Amino acid sequence: MTVDLAALGATLDERLRHADADLATRFPGERPVRQPVHTVYVPADRYDSELVGRWRTEAVASLDEHGGGADGVAGAFGLPPTLAADLLQRVRDKLEREAIEDLRIDFEDGYGARSDEEEDAAVDAAAAALLRAVDAGTATAFNGIRFKSFEAPTRQRGLRTFARFVEAVTRDGRLPDGFVVTFPKVTSVDQVEAMVVACEQLEQGVGLAPGAIRFEIQVETPQAIGGPDGTALVARMVHASSGRCTSLHYGTYDYSASCGIAAAYQSMEHPAADHAKAVMQVAAAGTGVHLSDGSTNVLPVGDHEQVVAAWRLHGRLVRRSLERGYYQGWDLHPAQLPSRFLATYAFYREGLPAAGQRLKNYVGQVDSGVMDEPATARALSDFVVRALDCGATDEQEVQALTGLDRAAIDRLARRSPA
Protein backbone atom coordinates (compact mmCIF):
# COMPACT_ATOMS: atom_id res chain seq x y z
CA MET A 1 0.00 0.00 0.00
CA THR A 2 1.40 3.37 -1.03
CA VAL A 3 -0.86 5.47 1.20
CA ASP A 4 0.68 6.51 4.50
CA LEU A 5 -2.28 5.57 6.72
CA ALA A 6 -0.70 7.00 9.85
CA ALA A 7 -0.25 10.38 8.19
CA LEU A 8 -3.73 10.25 6.65
CA GLY A 9 -5.23 9.31 10.02
CA ALA A 10 -3.47 12.25 11.66
CA THR A 11 -4.78 14.56 8.93
CA LEU A 12 -8.36 13.32 9.43
CA ASP A 13 -8.07 13.63 13.22
CA GLU A 14 -7.04 17.25 12.85
CA ARG A 15 -9.67 17.93 10.20
CA LEU A 16 -12.45 16.45 12.37
CA ARG A 17 -11.19 17.69 15.73
CA HIS A 18 -13.81 20.42 16.06
CA ALA A 19 -16.59 18.15 14.78
CA ASP A 20 -15.61 15.49 17.31
CA ALA A 21 -15.66 18.00 20.16
CA ASP A 22 -18.98 19.45 18.99
CA LEU A 23 -20.56 15.98 18.83
CA ALA A 24 -19.37 15.12 22.34
CA THR A 25 -20.69 18.41 23.72
CA ARG A 26 -24.03 18.51 21.95
CA PHE A 27 -24.86 14.79 22.10
CA PRO A 28 -23.43 13.41 25.35
CA GLY A 29 -25.95 10.57 25.57
CA GLU A 30 -28.34 9.57 28.35
CA ARG A 31 -27.96 11.38 31.65
CA PRO A 32 -27.35 9.08 34.64
CA VAL A 33 -30.48 10.27 36.42
CA ARG A 34 -33.92 8.88 37.07
CA GLN A 35 -36.77 10.13 34.89
CA PRO A 36 -40.15 10.34 36.61
CA VAL A 37 -43.00 8.47 34.94
CA HIS A 38 -45.34 11.43 35.29
CA THR A 39 -45.66 15.08 36.26
CA VAL A 40 -48.67 16.11 38.33
CA TYR A 41 -49.87 19.65 37.66
CA VAL A 42 -51.66 21.43 40.50
CA PRO A 43 -52.96 25.04 40.40
CA ALA A 44 -50.82 27.14 42.73
CA ASP A 45 -53.72 28.25 44.90
CA ARG A 46 -54.65 24.59 45.56
CA TYR A 47 -51.20 23.50 46.64
CA ASP A 48 -50.14 23.04 50.25
CA SER A 49 -47.64 20.87 52.08
CA GLU A 50 -50.24 18.10 52.65
CA LEU A 51 -51.22 17.72 49.00
CA VAL A 52 -49.32 14.49 48.33
CA GLY A 53 -51.00 12.79 51.27
CA ARG A 54 -54.44 13.89 50.08
CA TRP A 55 -53.79 12.66 46.54
CA ARG A 56 -52.59 9.33 47.92
CA THR A 57 -55.75 8.93 49.99
CA GLU A 58 -58.03 9.87 47.10
CA ALA A 59 -56.20 7.58 44.67
CA VAL A 60 -56.44 4.59 47.00
CA ALA A 61 -60.11 5.34 47.70
CA SER A 62 -60.85 5.47 43.98
CA LEU A 63 -59.02 2.19 43.41
CA ASP A 64 -60.94 0.57 46.28
CA GLU A 65 -64.31 1.86 45.08
CA HIS A 66 -63.99 1.28 41.35
CA GLY A 67 -61.10 -1.15 40.84
CA GLY A 68 -63.12 -4.32 41.47
CA GLY A 69 -60.09 -6.26 42.69
CA ALA A 70 -57.88 -8.26 40.37
CA ASP A 71 -60.79 -9.35 38.17
CA GLY A 72 -61.98 -5.77 37.74
CA VAL A 73 -58.49 -4.52 36.90
CA ALA A 74 -58.01 -7.41 34.45
CA GLY A 75 -61.23 -6.50 32.66
CA ALA A 76 -60.63 -2.75 32.62
CA PHE A 77 -57.08 -2.96 31.32
CA GLY A 78 -57.27 -6.15 29.26
CA LEU A 79 -54.80 -8.07 31.44
CA PRO A 80 -54.51 -11.72 32.46
CA PRO A 81 -55.99 -12.13 35.99
CA THR A 82 -52.71 -13.39 37.47
CA LEU A 83 -50.81 -10.37 36.15
CA ALA A 84 -53.60 -8.05 37.28
CA ALA A 85 -53.39 -9.38 40.85
CA ASP A 86 -49.62 -8.85 40.90
CA LEU A 87 -49.96 -5.34 39.47
CA LEU A 88 -52.68 -4.38 41.89
CA GLN A 89 -50.50 -5.16 44.89
CA ARG A 90 -47.51 -3.39 43.37
CA VAL A 91 -49.57 -0.30 42.60
CA ARG A 92 -51.01 -0.20 46.11
CA ASP A 93 -47.46 -0.35 47.46
CA LYS A 94 -46.41 2.41 45.06
CA LEU A 95 -49.27 4.69 46.10
CA GLU A 96 -48.36 4.26 49.75
CA ARG A 97 -44.65 4.78 49.10
CA GLU A 98 -44.62 7.42 46.35
CA ALA A 99 -48.01 8.45 45.04
CA ILE A 100 -46.55 11.39 43.08
CA GLU A 101 -43.10 11.27 41.52
CA ASP A 102 -42.94 14.78 40.04
CA LEU A 103 -45.05 17.78 41.07
CA ARG A 104 -45.44 21.07 39.25
CA ILE A 105 -47.03 23.99 41.09
CA ASP A 106 -48.82 25.78 38.27
CA PHE A 107 -48.94 29.58 37.93
CA GLU A 108 -49.81 29.44 34.23
CA ASP A 109 -52.97 28.08 32.56
CA GLY A 110 -54.00 26.06 35.60
CA TYR A 111 -53.87 29.20 37.74
CA GLY A 112 -55.02 31.89 35.34
CA ALA A 113 -54.75 35.67 35.36
CA ARG A 114 -54.87 37.27 38.82
CA SER A 115 -53.84 40.59 40.25
CA ASP A 116 -50.15 41.01 41.01
CA GLU A 117 -50.92 41.14 44.71
CA GLU A 118 -52.86 37.89 44.60
CA GLU A 119 -50.25 36.03 42.56
CA ASP A 120 -47.41 37.33 44.74
CA ALA A 121 -49.24 36.03 47.82
CA ALA A 122 -49.79 32.66 46.11
CA VAL A 123 -46.08 32.46 45.24
CA ASP A 124 -45.09 33.13 48.84
CA ALA A 125 -47.60 30.62 50.22
CA ALA A 126 -46.66 27.87 47.75
CA ALA A 127 -42.93 28.36 48.32
CA ALA A 128 -43.37 28.16 52.08
CA ALA A 129 -45.53 25.04 51.70
CA LEU A 130 -42.92 23.35 49.50
CA LEU A 131 -40.20 24.03 52.07
CA ARG A 132 -42.42 22.62 54.84
CA ALA A 133 -42.89 19.45 52.79
CA VAL A 134 -39.14 19.22 52.20
CA ASP A 135 -38.44 19.62 55.91
CA ALA A 136 -41.09 17.03 56.81
CA GLY A 137 -39.73 14.53 54.31
CA THR A 138 -43.04 14.46 52.40
CA ALA A 139 -41.94 16.39 49.30
CA THR A 140 -41.92 14.63 45.96
CA ALA A 141 -38.60 13.46 44.52
CA PHE A 142 -39.00 16.01 41.70
CA ASN A 143 -40.76 19.36 42.06
CA GLY A 144 -40.96 22.85 40.66
CA ILE A 145 -43.22 25.48 39.17
CA ARG A 146 -44.66 26.48 35.83
CA PHE A 147 -44.82 30.25 35.39
CA LYS A 148 -46.38 32.38 32.67
CA SER A 149 -44.66 32.45 29.30
CA PHE A 150 -42.13 34.90 27.89
CA GLU A 151 -44.65 36.07 25.30
CA ALA A 152 -44.91 39.86 25.48
CA PRO A 153 -48.29 40.08 27.33
CA THR A 154 -47.22 37.77 30.20
CA ARG A 155 -43.43 38.14 30.20
CA GLN A 156 -43.07 40.50 33.16
CA ARG A 157 -45.54 38.57 35.31
CA GLY A 158 -43.91 35.26 34.46
CA LEU A 159 -40.45 36.59 35.26
CA ARG A 160 -41.68 38.07 38.54
CA THR A 161 -43.18 34.76 39.69
CA PHE A 162 -40.13 32.79 38.55
CA ALA A 163 -37.70 35.06 40.40
CA ARG A 164 -39.81 35.41 43.53
CA PHE A 165 -40.31 31.65 43.90
CA VAL A 166 -36.66 30.77 43.27
CA GLU A 167 -35.54 33.33 45.84
CA ALA A 168 -38.07 32.04 48.38
CA VAL A 169 -37.00 28.39 48.13
CA THR A 170 -33.23 28.99 47.99
CA ARG A 171 -31.63 28.05 51.30
CA ASP A 172 -27.90 27.95 52.05
CA GLY A 173 -27.15 28.52 48.39
CA ARG A 174 -29.19 25.51 47.24
CA LEU A 175 -32.55 24.79 45.66
CA PRO A 176 -34.70 21.86 46.86
CA ASP A 177 -33.57 18.51 45.47
CA GLY A 178 -35.15 17.72 42.12
CA PHE A 179 -36.25 21.32 41.52
CA VAL A 180 -36.95 22.30 37.90
CA VAL A 181 -39.07 25.01 36.29
CA THR A 182 -41.38 24.61 33.31
CA PHE A 183 -40.92 27.17 30.53
CA PRO A 184 -44.24 27.26 28.63
CA LYS A 185 -45.43 28.29 25.16
CA VAL A 186 -41.95 28.73 23.71
CA THR A 187 -42.11 30.16 20.20
CA SER A 188 -38.50 31.07 19.40
CA VAL A 189 -34.88 30.21 20.08
CA ASP A 190 -34.54 33.80 21.27
CA GLN A 191 -36.89 33.05 24.17
CA VAL A 192 -34.73 30.11 25.26
CA GLU A 193 -31.63 32.29 25.13
CA ALA A 194 -33.47 34.93 27.17
CA MET A 195 -34.39 32.23 29.69
CA VAL A 196 -30.71 31.32 30.04
CA VAL A 197 -29.90 34.98 30.76
CA ALA A 198 -32.68 35.12 33.37
CA CYS A 199 -31.35 31.95 35.04
CA GLU A 200 -27.80 33.30 35.13
CA GLN A 201 -28.83 36.59 36.71
CA LEU A 202 -31.12 34.92 39.21
CA GLU A 203 -28.35 32.56 40.29
CA GLN A 204 -26.03 35.50 40.85
CA GLY A 205 -28.74 37.44 42.67
CA VAL A 206 -29.72 34.74 45.17
CA GLY A 207 -26.34 33.08 45.60
CA LEU A 208 -26.88 29.87 43.66
CA ALA A 209 -24.09 28.04 41.88
CA PRO A 210 -23.88 28.63 38.11
CA GLY A 211 -26.14 26.19 36.29
CA ALA A 212 -28.23 25.40 39.37
CA ILE A 213 -31.51 26.43 37.74
CA ARG A 214 -32.70 23.84 35.22
CA PHE A 215 -35.78 24.09 33.04
CA GLU A 216 -37.98 22.01 30.79
CA ILE A 217 -39.25 23.41 27.52
CA GLN A 218 -42.95 23.01 26.90
CA VAL A 219 -43.64 22.33 23.24
CA GLU A 220 -47.16 23.61 22.74
CA THR A 221 -46.82 25.96 19.77
CA PRO A 222 -46.44 25.00 16.09
CA GLN A 223 -43.58 27.51 15.86
CA ALA A 224 -41.43 25.22 18.03
CA ILE A 225 -41.87 22.35 15.56
CA GLY A 226 -41.71 24.26 12.26
CA GLY A 227 -40.03 27.66 12.33
CA PRO A 228 -40.51 30.37 9.70
CA ASP A 229 -37.41 29.11 7.87
CA GLY A 230 -38.83 25.59 7.73
CA THR A 231 -36.45 24.14 10.34
CA ALA A 232 -37.39 22.32 13.53
CA LEU A 233 -36.70 25.05 16.04
CA VAL A 234 -37.12 22.67 18.97
CA ALA A 235 -33.76 21.10 18.08
CA ARG A 236 -32.08 24.50 18.17
CA MET A 237 -33.88 25.31 21.42
CA VAL A 238 -32.32 22.32 23.15
CA HIS A 239 -28.82 23.44 22.17
CA ALA A 240 -29.54 27.10 22.96
CA SER A 241 -30.28 26.20 26.59
CA SER A 242 -26.59 26.03 27.57
CA GLY A 243 -27.12 22.59 29.07
CA ARG A 244 -29.98 23.74 31.33
CA CYS A 245 -32.81 22.01 29.45
CA THR A 246 -33.77 18.78 31.22
CA SER A 247 -36.75 17.75 29.12
CA LEU A 248 -39.24 18.57 26.40
CA HIS A 249 -42.91 18.40 27.41
CA TYR A 250 -45.62 18.13 24.78
CA GLY A 251 -48.65 20.34 25.44
CA THR A 252 -51.59 18.45 23.97
CA TYR A 253 -54.34 21.04 23.90
CA ASP A 254 -52.50 24.29 23.24
CA TYR A 255 -50.63 22.66 20.36
CA SER A 256 -53.77 21.06 18.91
CA ALA A 257 -55.77 24.29 19.16
CA SER A 258 -52.95 26.26 17.55
CA CYS A 259 -53.04 23.82 14.64
CA GLY A 260 -56.76 24.49 14.16
CA ILE A 261 -57.94 21.08 15.35
CA ALA A 262 -61.54 21.07 16.58
CA ALA A 263 -61.90 20.60 20.33
CA ALA A 264 -63.68 17.25 19.98
CA TYR A 265 -60.66 15.79 18.15
CA GLN A 266 -57.83 17.21 20.23
CA SER A 267 -55.96 14.20 21.59
CA MET A 268 -52.56 12.78 22.48
CA GLU A 269 -52.99 10.37 19.54
CA HIS A 270 -54.08 12.83 16.84
CA PRO A 271 -51.77 12.68 13.78
CA ALA A 272 -50.68 16.27 14.44
CA ALA A 273 -49.64 15.25 17.96
CA ASP A 274 -47.73 12.23 16.68
CA HIS A 275 -45.89 14.40 14.16
CA ALA A 276 -44.88 16.96 16.79
CA LYS A 277 -43.73 14.27 19.20
CA ALA A 278 -41.72 12.51 16.49
CA VAL A 279 -39.89 15.77 15.75
CA MET A 280 -39.28 16.27 19.47
CA GLN A 281 -37.94 12.74 19.75
CA VAL A 282 -35.38 13.27 17.01
CA ALA A 283 -34.41 16.67 18.44
CA ALA A 284 -33.75 15.18 21.89
CA ALA A 285 -32.01 11.98 20.76
CA GLY A 286 -28.52 11.70 22.17
CA THR A 287 -28.69 14.99 24.05
CA GLY A 288 -29.63 13.62 27.47
CA VAL A 289 -32.87 15.64 27.32
CA HIS A 290 -35.92 13.63 28.41
CA LEU A 291 -39.31 13.54 26.70
CA SER A 292 -42.75 13.84 28.23
CA ASP A 293 -46.09 13.29 26.56
CA GLY A 294 -49.09 15.42 27.48
CA SER A 295 -52.34 14.60 29.22
CA THR A 296 -55.85 13.45 28.60
CA ASN A 297 -58.61 15.81 29.74
CA VAL A 298 -61.06 12.93 30.32
CA LEU A 299 -60.93 12.57 34.09
CA PRO A 300 -61.98 9.48 36.10
CA VAL A 301 -64.90 11.09 37.89
CA GLY A 302 -68.62 10.38 38.03
CA ASP A 303 -70.30 7.01 38.35
CA HIS A 304 -68.54 3.63 38.21
CA GLU A 305 -68.88 3.24 34.45
CA GLN A 306 -67.48 6.72 33.82
CA VAL A 307 -64.49 6.14 36.09
CA VAL A 308 -63.64 2.78 34.53
CA ALA A 309 -64.05 4.18 31.01
CA ALA A 310 -61.69 7.05 31.84
CA TRP A 311 -59.19 4.61 33.36
CA ARG A 312 -59.35 2.45 30.26
CA LEU A 313 -58.69 5.47 28.01
CA HIS A 314 -55.90 6.80 30.22
CA GLY A 315 -54.27 3.40 30.52
CA ARG A 316 -54.35 2.88 26.76
CA LEU A 317 -52.80 6.30 26.13
CA VAL A 318 -50.10 5.74 28.75
CA ARG A 319 -49.23 2.40 27.17
CA ARG A 320 -49.22 3.97 23.71
CA SER A 321 -46.76 6.64 24.84
CA LEU A 322 -44.48 4.08 26.48
CA GLU A 323 -44.40 1.94 23.36
CA ARG A 324 -43.37 5.01 21.36
CA GLY A 325 -40.49 5.92 23.66
CA TYR A 326 -42.25 8.60 25.69
CA TYR A 327 -41.67 7.42 29.25
CA GLN A 328 -43.37 10.30 31.05
CA GLY A 329 -46.72 12.09 30.87
CA TRP A 330 -48.94 14.52 32.76
CA ASP A 331 -51.58 13.65 35.36
CA LEU A 332 -54.20 16.13 36.50
CA HIS A 333 -56.38 14.28 39.03
CA PRO A 334 -55.77 11.88 41.96
CA ALA A 335 -57.90 9.17 40.35
CA GLN A 336 -55.52 9.11 37.38
CA LEU A 337 -52.74 7.73 39.58
CA PRO A 338 -54.11 4.14 39.62
CA SER A 339 -54.37 4.00 35.83
CA ARG A 340 -50.97 5.68 35.40
CA PHE A 341 -49.18 3.14 37.55
CA LEU A 342 -51.21 0.12 36.44
CA ALA A 343 -50.50 0.82 32.77
CA THR A 344 -46.85 1.67 33.42
CA TYR A 345 -46.22 -1.40 35.55
CA ALA A 346 -48.00 -3.64 33.04
CA PHE A 347 -45.71 -2.34 30.29
CA TYR A 348 -42.59 -3.21 32.26
CA ARG A 349 -43.82 -6.45 33.85
CA GLU A 350 -44.87 -7.85 30.47
CA GLY A 351 -41.57 -6.90 28.84
CA LEU A 352 -39.15 -7.88 31.61
CA PRO A 353 -38.79 -11.63 30.95
CA ALA A 354 -37.86 -11.18 27.28
CA ALA A 355 -35.63 -8.16 27.97
CA GLY A 356 -33.88 -10.02 30.77
CA GLN A 357 -33.24 -13.11 28.67
CA ARG A 358 -31.92 -11.09 25.74
CA LEU A 359 -29.54 -9.20 28.03
CA LYS A 360 -28.38 -12.45 29.59
CA ASN A 361 -27.74 -13.92 26.14
CA TYR A 362 -25.96 -10.76 24.97
CA VAL A 363 -23.58 -10.61 27.94
CA GLY A 364 -22.96 -14.36 27.82
CA GLN A 365 -22.56 -14.30 24.02
CA VAL A 366 -25.16 -17.03 23.71
CA ASP A 367 -26.30 -17.91 20.19
CA SER A 368 -30.03 -17.56 20.72
CA GLY A 369 -31.15 -16.87 17.17
CA VAL A 370 -31.41 -13.12 17.89
CA MET A 371 -28.27 -11.09 17.22
CA ASP A 372 -28.51 -7.98 19.39
CA GLU A 373 -26.08 -5.16 18.74
CA PRO A 374 -24.57 -2.88 21.43
CA ALA A 375 -27.18 -0.20 20.74
CA THR A 376 -29.98 -2.72 21.31
CA ALA A 377 -28.29 -3.93 24.49
CA ARG A 378 -28.30 -0.32 25.69
CA ALA A 379 -32.01 -0.06 24.92
CA LEU A 380 -32.72 -3.33 26.75
CA SER A 381 -30.70 -2.15 29.74
CA ASP A 382 -32.44 1.23 29.72
CA PHE A 383 -35.79 -0.57 29.80
CA VAL A 384 -34.69 -2.49 32.90
CA VAL A 385 -33.32 0.64 34.56
CA ARG A 386 -36.63 2.43 34.05
CA ALA A 387 -38.52 -0.54 35.48
CA LEU A 388 -36.27 -0.45 38.55
CA ASP A 389 -36.56 3.31 38.98
CA CYS A 390 -40.35 3.38 39.02
CA GLY A 391 -40.73 0.28 41.21
CA ALA A 392 -42.09 -2.15 38.63
CA THR A 393 -39.32 -4.58 39.60
CA ASP A 394 -36.47 -4.86 42.09
CA GLU A 395 -32.76 -5.63 41.94
CA GLN A 396 -33.20 -9.22 43.14
CA GLU A 397 -35.63 -10.05 40.34
CA VAL A 398 -33.46 -8.29 37.75
CA GLN A 399 -30.38 -10.25 38.83
CA ALA A 400 -32.32 -13.50 38.58
CA LEU A 401 -33.49 -12.61 35.06
CA THR A 402 -30.24 -11.21 33.67
CA GLY A 403 -27.44 -12.47 35.90
CA LEU A 404 -26.42 -8.80 36.29
CA ASP A 405 -26.44 -6.52 39.31
CA ARG A 406 -27.65 -2.92 39.22
CA ALA A 407 -24.19 -1.47 38.60
CA ALA A 408 -23.69 -3.71 35.57
CA ILE A 409 -27.13 -2.82 34.19
CA ASP A 410 -26.35 0.88 34.61
CA ARG A 411 -23.06 0.48 32.77
CA LEU A 412 -24.72 -1.29 29.86
CA ALA A 413 -27.33 1.47 29.72
CA ARG A 414 -24.45 4.00 29.89
CA ARG A 415 -25.89 5.56 33.02
CA SER A 416 -22.69 5.26 35.01
CA PRO A 417 -18.98 5.44 34.22
CA ALA A 418 -17.68 2.37 32.39
Q: Is residue 387 part of a domain?
A: no
For residue 304, the enclosing domain spans 38-347
Given a contact cutoff of 8 angstroms between Cβ atoms, the answer to whether 289 and 300 are in contact is no
Specify the pLDDT at position 1. 65
Q: Is residue 251 part of a domain?
A: yes
- Is the model's pLDDT at 403 over the cut of 90? yes
Q: Which residues pair with 181 in a beta bridge?
A: 145, 215
- pLDDT, tens only, 177-231: 999 999 999 999 999 999 999 999 999 999 999 999 999 999 999 999 999 999 9
Spell 101-128 as b/e; 16+ CB within 10 A means b: bbbbbbbbbbbeeeeeeebeebbeebbe
- Is the model's pLDDT at 416 over the cut of 80? no
| Mean per-residue pLDDT over the chain, rounded | 95
**CATH number of residue 329's parent domain:** 3.20.20.60
Q: How confident is the model at residue 368 (pLDDT cuts 50, 70, 90)?
A: low
Between the CA of residue 157 and those of 89, 254, 262, 418, what are the distances in Å?
Answer: 45, 20, 30, 46
Q: Is residue 371 part of a domain?
A: no
Q: Is residue 415 part of a domain?
A: no
Burial class (CB in 10 A: 0-12, 13-18, 19+), 7: exposed
Average pLDDT over residues 105-114: 95
- pLDDT, tens only, 66-98: 999 999 999 989 999 999 999 999 999 999 999
Query: Which amino acid type is present at position 106?
Result: D
Q: Is residue 109 part of a domain?
A: yes
Specify the pLDDT at position 418. 43
More confident residue, 176 or 415: 176
Q: Is residue 385 part of a domain?
A: no
How many C-beta atoms lie closer than 10 Å to residue 151's C-beta?
Answer: 15
Domain count, the chain: 1
Q: Is residue 231 part of a domain?
A: yes
From CA 364, how far away is CA 361, in angstroms rounded?
5
Q: How do 102-106 and 142-146 pair as beta strands? A: parallel
Q: Is residue 56 part of a domain?
A: yes
